[in-house]
Amino acid sequence: MPRRAGRWTPGAGGEGDAGRRWVRTRGRALATFAVLTAGLLACHRAVPNSPGRLGSLLEVFLPWLGLVVVVLFGWALLRRSAAALITLLLPTAAWTCHFGGLLLPGAKPGPYDLVVVQHNVSDENTDPAGTARALAGAGPDLIALQELVPPALAVYEKTLAPDYPYHAVRGTVGLWSKHPLTDARLLDIRPQDITEPWSRGLRTVVRTPHGEIAAYVAHLPSVRVGAGGLASSRRDESAGLLGRAVAAEPLETVILLGDLNGTVDDRGLAPLTSRMNVAQRGFAFSFPAALPVARIDQVMARSATVPHIRTLSATGSDHLPVAARIALR
């Protein structure tokens, strides 16, 4: 009688032994992948950034290692590998510890909260008026914009003016506010090797009902992913300059809104994330708008917290807008 496919047959050196060895090998391979994934999640800072800034590249896509865990789990079930299933508890725990809190619902708004919107509107946006109306429709206290270019800038100013009578623009970044703005100035975060005109930083003071807040709006240099890895040296240099400006800010409470071209896990933004609080709830992947895979549009705060961040509906930009709550202390 022919044996059934996949049936284990006892006997030293026989077909059954070979089958058992094959299953054990597959279980070891799955377990190895599970341990490696857990190590990358828990110790991503240990991955060197040379060559090619591989550490930063990993950190951009770090949340997506959760999909690797799901694939490994399905593989382990298909292969009926108990050892692999048990080992998968390691990356599951590591992912949950690092990102699980972002999935929890945000706390109810408090009496001292501000709502802010951050959006790179794109210098190729063909509907600036519609974009402005969409952002104002979220009812924020502050709206920070990047890639402001004429003649679209005049459209944003006109469309937002009725609800946001105060605004400040320096170079290609700007801030619109329901509260008075004072002491607006250009913030120099230009990398040394950029010699052409380049103004992507703004610092101003927002006079809220709860006190004065220093508001920073920034657009850090773009990064590129190529055969050599992640090209982010300009972004990292600009982040360092911005971090030093925040550290020197005399006002206690600071809000930073910007297209930082990096995720909060990316070590290139450490000059900022080491000094400021990031969003406690919400993934809010903002780029690219057609299929968002990372949140590179950020809202951070010092002497305040960011309880929740979310994306808004798509506009004429290649970024999605993000809206966040700021809980003042």
- For 262-312, how does the pLDDT look when each residue is reduced to its tens digit (9 = 90+)? 999 999 999 999 999 999 999 999 999 999 999 999 999 999 999 999 999
Given a cut of 80, is residue 194 above it in pLDDT? yes
Inter-residue contact 320 to 310 (CB < 8 Å): no
Mean pLDDT across 251-265: 98
318 compared with 107, residue with greater pLDDT? 318
Complete edge-to-edge strand list for the sheet that includes strand 166-170: 166-170, 173-177, 142-146, 113-120, 322-328, 304-311
Out of 5-14, 16-25, 250-259, 267-276, least confident range: 5-14
What is the 8-class DSSP label of residue 20?
A: H
Identify the pLDDT of residue 26.
Answer: 61
Given a cut of 60, is residue 10 above it in pLDDT? no
Mean pLDDT across 308-326: 97
Q: How confident is the model at residue 65 (pLDDT cuts 50, 70, 90)?
A: very high
Identify the pLDDT of residue 300.
Answer: 98
Out of 78-82, 156-160, 202-206, least confident range: 78-82
Identify the pLDDT of residue 322.
Answer: 98
| 90/177 Cα distance (integer angstroms) | 46
203 compared with 1, residue with greater pLDDT? 203
Q: How confident is the model at residue 229 (pLDDT cuts 50, 70, 90)?
A: confident
Mean pLDDT across 40-65: 92
Given a cut of 80, is residue 11 above it in pLDDT? no
Given a cut of 60, is residue 98 above it in pLDDT? yes
Identify the pLDDT of residue 25.
Answer: 56
What is the 8-class DSSP label of residue 86?
A: H
DSSP string, 28-64: HHHHHHHHHHHHHHH-GGGS--TTTTHHHHHHHTGGG
For domain 108-328, is the CATH number 3.40.50.2300?
A: no
Out of 27-31, 105-109, 161-165, 255-259, least confident range: 105-109
Identify the pLDDT of residue 8.
Answer: 40
| 207/213 Cα distance (integer angstroms) | 7
Which residue has tokens 């058992």? 20
What is the 8-class DSSP label of residue 4?
A: P
Write out pLDDT tens, residues 115-150: 999 999 999 999 999 999 999 999 999 999 999 999
Given a cut of 50, is residue 250 above it in pLDDT? yes
Cα Rg, the chain, nearest whole Å: 24
